Each structure stands twice: as structure tokens, then as C-alpha cells.
Amino acid sequence: MLTFKRALVISAAVLTFLFIFRSTHSSPRPLTADSLPKPASLTKAHAAQAEQPARQETTDPPKAKPNKETTTWKGPSTASIQSPKKPKTQIPLDELHKRPLREQLDYQFPYDVESKFPAYIWQTWKYTPANGKFEDGFREAEASWTILHPTFVHEVITDTVAVHLMRHLYASVPEVLEAYNALPLPVLKADFFRYLILLARGGIYSDIDTAALKSATDWVPQEVPRNSFGMVIGIEADPDRPDWAEWYSRRIQFCQWTIQSKPGHPVLRDVVANITEETLRRKAEGRLTKDTKGIIEFTGPALWTDAIFRFFNDPEYFDMSSSKGNITWENFTGMKAPKKVGDVIILPITSFSPGVRTMGAGEDDDPMAFVKHNFEGSWKPENERHVGETYD
């Protein structure tokens, strides 16, 4: 006899069977990351991360425009180019080669004023000091750089090494390599080399006939922040006389036998681009000859001086709206102390030309004397070289 109790048990069994049957035949829910439980802390962290932009490499050159007024040493200058960080977009090589030369150089050798000065000293000559043919007259001067800079890498680059080094550093900028290899005179290649090595690697370039009188760490006062400047240059000539044009190419001329720079500096980029473009233009027109006339304007101190003044008056780097006028030779004539224009330190004539006994230069023991240029070389048509320059 079916009692109420038995009926209740049978009903429960039937309902259980139906539930199991329905569950085993329904579509299972796929297992995903969203279906798993998340700790509250992890969920919040992911949400916060999603709101942040992706981190990217920041190596583009500075674009800030400080006032370009020249300043003397009255504490750190405020007229320094800052280095805002901007993401660098990866560019395929074939696409990069279609862009203007200056853009290629900018991309390959980005500038960061806040970086450290590389501890390199670069010199060029036909032999290294380890070679017995290295001239005795250069040994003391060459050694002075190593003695006063014991923590620096000091390299004397020979012609053969220079060719391979340029091929390595500028493999991705074939126009530069073509121009370097096309230059018909060793002195032209030596001029070009100093700009090329500093643009790519930074550090100090100095001719083989120069002697270090003080360490480069003392060229600029310690109270001046090292992240506020990226280049140190010196006055070569300040001929305050009516007939100055008969002796020098510019009223104020910056020397290029000694230069210190961080890699990628815009002045170096401009110089390298100008030499490259002019060399390839002359090559195409059949005007690339071994005539030594005009070298100062082609690759030497005249070209170098013009590039520096062009940089000082470039609205891309300086705020021209607050300027009292262009920076000219008048801002540097008669200098006795360093000046700072943007991110460039300009040293007086005594610093890299002590002992010349002209144009107001001091002697070798002057506190501002840093590098002694021995001027041992002169033009020698018989071998087309200048001492301090490399040659074939």
C-alpha cells in the first residue's frame, strides 16, 4: 500500500533523476580567465594599469626653447636647453633612408642633454703610440691626456682603423659613408672624422699635437650642473684689428682642434649633414679635387664656427621672442671667463690657446689654460698633410 511517506520518497527520487539528466545534457560553460575568481588586489592593480599609457623608449632630442642670452659664471645658468622625454617610434631601415639626411642622423644618434659626457678621448694619426714609427715629438703630449684622465678610454685612431670604425658607426647612413670615402685629401677626412666620432660616440676629440694641461673634469666649474650643457668649445681667434680678414676667416673663430660633446648634439648633426651634402654635390659635379684652397670653409674652423652661430640663432632651440638680437661675434670678443649659451659652454681663448701671446691669450700657467696646442704642423704640399691630422 502506497503511503504518504513512500510517495514523498519516490517523488524526491524522480526529481533528483530529472535534475541530473538535465545537467549532464546541457552545454557546459567554457573555462576562461574571466570565469575564474580574482583576488580584489589583483583586480584593482589591473584596472589601474589599464589606465596608464604603455611605456616607450624616450630618446628624441630636446625641443624646449630657453632664452638664448649669453651668461657668465654667476652660478648655474638658466639659459640651458632642457631635455623633455618623448617616445621614439621604430622606423624600418628602408623607410628611414627615404627621409632627409638630418632626420636620419637625428634618429640614429639621438641627443640627451641630461646624459653624462662619455669618458672617451679621440685622437688621429698614421701610427699608434705603440708603433715604433710614432714620432717622439708627439709622445709627451699624447701621454698627457692619459695621465690627466686615468679613467677615460684614450684612443689614437689610425687611417685604417678610422675607415672600419666609420663603416661600423654609419652603416645605416650610407650617404655619410659615401662622402667620407670620397674625400680626396687626408686633411679633409681628418676634419670630418672628428665630427663623425663625436656625433656617434661623444667624448673629447683633440689633435695629436695638443697637450692636456688640466683634466676635462675641471674645464667647467663643478657648480654648473652637468645635465645643463652638452658641448664645450673654445675661442681660437679673436683678431681685434682692422685687417683681421687677411689673417682669419671669421672675426670670432671657434677652434676645432679640441671639442668636447655628448653624442648626437645638434651642432654636430648640422656639420656632418653639411659636409656630406657638399661632398656629394661636388662629386656629382666633378668638382671634388685635391686643391687645398677653401678647406677652412669646406670642413675646417670656418664651417665649424658658422654652424655654432647658426645653432645659437635657431628658433627651433631658442626662444627668439625674448631675444635682444642675434648672437654674434660681439658677444664673445675679449672674453676672459667662460660663457654659456643654451647648452653650449664657450671657453675664452686662453683655455685652448695659451701661450700664443696675441689676442689676449694668457700663458700656460693661467688658471683658465686647459689644453696646449703646439702648432707643430703646417701645410706641407709634398705629402698633403697637416700635423694633427691623419693621412693615407
- DSSP letters for 192-235: HHHHHHHHHH-EEEE-TTEEESS-GGGSS-TTS-GGG--EEEEE
Residue-wise pLDDT for 294-320, tens only, equals: 999 999 999 999 999 999 999 988 887
pLDDT for residue 357:
86
pLDDT for residue 87:
52
CB–CB of 265/195 below 8 Å?
A: no
* CA–CA distance, 310 with 91 (Å, rounded to integer): 29
Share of the chain above pLDDT 70, in %: 73
Tell me the one-letter amino acid at 35. Answer: S
* CA–CA distance, 350 with 329 (Å, rounded to integer): 17
pLDDT for residue 147:
98
Listed as own residue / partner, the contacts of 36-45 with beta carbons closer than 8 Å and 24 or more positions apart are none
Share of the chain above pLDDT 90, in %: 61
pLDDT for residue 37:
33
* CA–CA distance, 13 with 19 (Å, rounded to integer): 10
The predicted model scores a pTM of: 0.77
pLDDT for residue 157:
97
pLDDT for residue 99:
83
Which CATH class name applies to 93-373?
A: alpha beta
Residue-wise pLDDT for 33-67, tens only, equals: 333 233 333 233 333 333 333 222 222 333 345 55
Domain coordinates in residue numbering, the chain = 93-373
Residue-wise pLDDT for 198-236, tens only, equals: 999 999 999 999 999 999 999 999 899 999 999 999 999
3-state secondary structure at position 240: coil
Identify the band that residue 6 occupies on the pLDDT scale cut at 50, 70 and 90.
low
Task: For 42-76, give the DSSP string.
Answer: HHHHHHHHHTSPPP--B-PPP--------B-SSSS
Q: Which of 59-68, 187-196, 355-364 has the highest mean pLDDT?
A: 187-196
Mean pLDDT of 244-273: 96
